[in-house]
Amino acid sequence: MTRNIKNYRTHDFYCLNCGKRNISVMRPRGFLRERGHRKAMYCPHCKLDVNHLECRNDEDAFNFKMDFEEGKYIQEAKESINFLMKERVENNE
């Protein structure tokens, strides 16, 4: 079975802590999710588990960068790091 690549788009994830781009995820075209979806993943720049913001296009990425520079995500990044660290300890990983 062949998957038509044209039916897929890449969505980028940006770290709320350092603002850098992390991995891109393939989503089926027309895949709809609320704007500003957060996903917890490991950031290779921060070397931490932290929430990331899903950006579907250049506009989303641009808006994220503006908000990030204004410090909009500082508190949220801290909270997500603390939360995910605690979770990791509790799971004994």
Contact set with Zn ion (CB under 5 A): 15, 17-18, 43, 45-46
Place of tokens 């788009």: 9
The CA-atom distances, in angstroms, between 79 and each of 7, 24, 50, 58, 66 are: 36, 24, 9, 27, 20
Nearer CB in complex with Zn ion: 23/28: 23
Minimum Å distance from CB 22 to Zn ion?
7
* Closest separation in Å from C-beta 86 to Zn ion: 19
CB-wise, 9 or 48, nearer to Zn ion?
48
